Each structure stands twice: as structure tokens, then as C-alpha cells.
Amino acid sequence: MKTAIVILNWNGKKLLKQFLPSIINFSNQEAEIYVADNASSDDSINFIKQNYPSVKIIQNSTNGGYAKGYNDALQHINADIYCLLNSDIEVTKNWLTPILASFKKDGNTAIIQPKILDFKDKTKFEYAGAGGGYVDLYGYPYCRGRLFNHLEADNGQYNDIADIFWASGACLFIRSKVYHQLNGFDEDYFAHQEEIDLCWRAQNEGFNIKYVGNSTVYHVGGATLNETNPHKTFLNFRNSLLNVVKNVPKQWFLFIIFSRLILDGIAGLKFLTELKPKHTLAILKAHFSFYVNFFKFLGKRKLLQKKANYNLHTSVIWQYFALGRKKFENLK
């Protein structure tokens, strides 16, 4: 299978200088490497040309965020498998081998994520994806190895191959034909949780999403927007609501929407008690943006098949905050 590793870049010369070497050293025998540049104003492109001439460059005309950036770039790449890789990831020796083997073994597997550990503390899972993602009853995402801000130590507990609900956009492998069948990412998301929507739509079309735990990468995380940035809070809350409107089966739709309005309100109050009013304001802005986009996304539902293949029996908020269950293995 022809594989293309595509790194989306925006003013990321420092990250490319730090992380491109591991990607080239451990990947160039099995994949072509591309940098898709989102109209950077630094000298990222000149740096690549001068130091890594084997890396192919695609220059997008605008910075359309993660979703549009990849949609624009992947139109120009001919490959069977796309690996969408953040610029702040260090890969490891033979990381591609088990993933490509999984694609070959199961033709219905459309999307795969490796194990994602924290670059800053390589003994722990990383926030963005960890050991593979899921969505609970109310549309809140969570991961094996990460519930909210609690990160598990990696003790080999997720060194497996498992069916998951969503794969992290920090390191996401997808069959090119499936990507284009789904019309890529929804550009209305701009950034954050668009990969959950993509995976949800893939499953609605009957494809499988898998986690391959014997492939490991290390992610810095927050290189573009760290967790203390209110804009990240805005995008996560708004886009999670948009996922619900767009993808939740109709029999659960109104119940989940009204429940989310209450739960997100409680989250806003929690931020106030933690003296983080900017994050409370970000949630309010997220809901306002959600209302503005509600009917647009309601229209998008009509284009999608609906299957109830997310967890209708688990409230990760209740289990985490009320019952004190901090690890994935303790969820019931």
C-alpha cells in the first residue's frame, strides 16, 4: 500500500526542526513524507527545502485550520493510506509496520490510531487520543488512558488492537478512498473534534475504527492551542455540540441536546469556582455559536445514515466527578 505521511504546518519551523528527523529516519522506507503548509509567515518552507529536500511540500493559499488545511492538501496526494500527523509528534522505530499490517489484514478497517504517549513524560498517555477514543451518552469524548485531565501511566495495559469510536487527529491513519468518500473533514469545525465527526460518519457508513497499541508515538500537545487557552475551550464545547446535532440518532436527539445545555452550564459554573471566568465566557460563546449554526447542522443530518454505535449506557461525567472513577478500566 502506498502511504503518505502528511504534516500540517503553520509557522512551525521550530517544531519541524525538532521532530522531522525522527519522522524521516523511521518512515522514509515505507512512506512518502509531505508538509502541507497553511500559509505560514515564517520561513518554514525555506527551512524544509534547504535541510530536507526529500520532503514534498504542498502550499495552501490560506490558513483554514486543521479541517480545511487537510482537505485542501490531500487533493494533491496520490496514496492508498494517508497518515495525518501533527508537527509536534516524535515517532518511533517500526511504528508504521503494525499499522499497515492491520490495514492489510482487515479491508473494512478504515481508520487507525497508534498509542499516543506524552512527549514531556513518556511514562504517561497523552491527552489527545491516548489509547483510543470513545463518546459517552451525552456526546462527551474520552479515551482509554485519559479521562478528562487525568492521565494514566503506560504499564502496557493498552498494548492491544481494539475497536474504538474515534481516532485522534494528532496521528490518524485513514484509507484515502474512505476519506474522499466521506468528503473529508467538515470545515465548519475549523479545529478540534472534527476527527470525531469524521470517525462517526465512517462508522455510519459501516467502516471500522481501530487502535493499534504496538505502534507508539510521543505527542507534545497544545503546540497550537494549549489547554489553558479559552479559545480551545470554545472550540471543544461548540464542536462537541455540533457533533451531537449532526450525528446522534433521532430517538436520542432532544434528550441529549437538553441534557448537554444543563451539563455545559454546570461546567461553566465549575470554571467560575476555579477562578477561570474566561473559560466560562468561552462556554457561553460556544453555545451562542452553536445556536447560530444549529439549523445548518440540522440540515447536514439529512445527508447521513444514522446508527446508534456510540456508548448509550455510560455517562463519563457522572462516573468521573460523582463516583470518582479516574481510569478507563473502572468505568461501568
Per the model's pLDDT, the better-predicted residue between 114 and 221 turns out to be: 114
Please, what is the average pLDDT of the chain?
A: 93
Domain boundary among 159, 184, 219: 219
Give the structural domain span for 313: 230-330
Residue 263 and residue 238 in one domain: yes
Q: Tell me the pTM.
A: 0.93
Per-residue model confidence (pLDDT) at position 133: 95
Residue 214 lies in a domain: yes
Q: At what angle do helices 277-301 and 253-273 cross, to 10 degrees?
A: 170
Same domain (yes/no): 97, 180 = yes
Query: Are 49 and 115 in a shared domain?
Result: yes
Q: Which pLDDT score, from 0 to 100, does residue 222 have?
A: 65
- The 3-state DSSP class for residue 319 equals helix
What's the domain count of the chain? 2
Domain's final residue, options 184, 219, 254: 219
Looking at the structure, tell me whether residues 13 and 107 fall in a common domain.
yes
My answer on whether 33 and 95 are in the same domain is yes
Range 140-144 average pLDDT? 94
Answer for the pair 243, 192: CB distance below 8 angstroms, yes or no.
Answer: no
Query: Partners of 121 in the beta sheet?
Result: 118
Statement to judge: residues 115 and 242 lie in one domain: no
| Of the residues 161, 188, 219, the one at which a domain ends | 219
**pLDDT exceeds 70 at position 87:** yes
With 80 as the cut, is the pLDDT of residue 220 above it?
Answer: yes
Residue 21 lies in a domain: yes
Same-domain pairing of 110 and 154: yes
* 225 in any annotated domain: no
- Of the pLDDT bands very low, low, confident and very high (cuts 50, 70, 90), residue 207 is very high
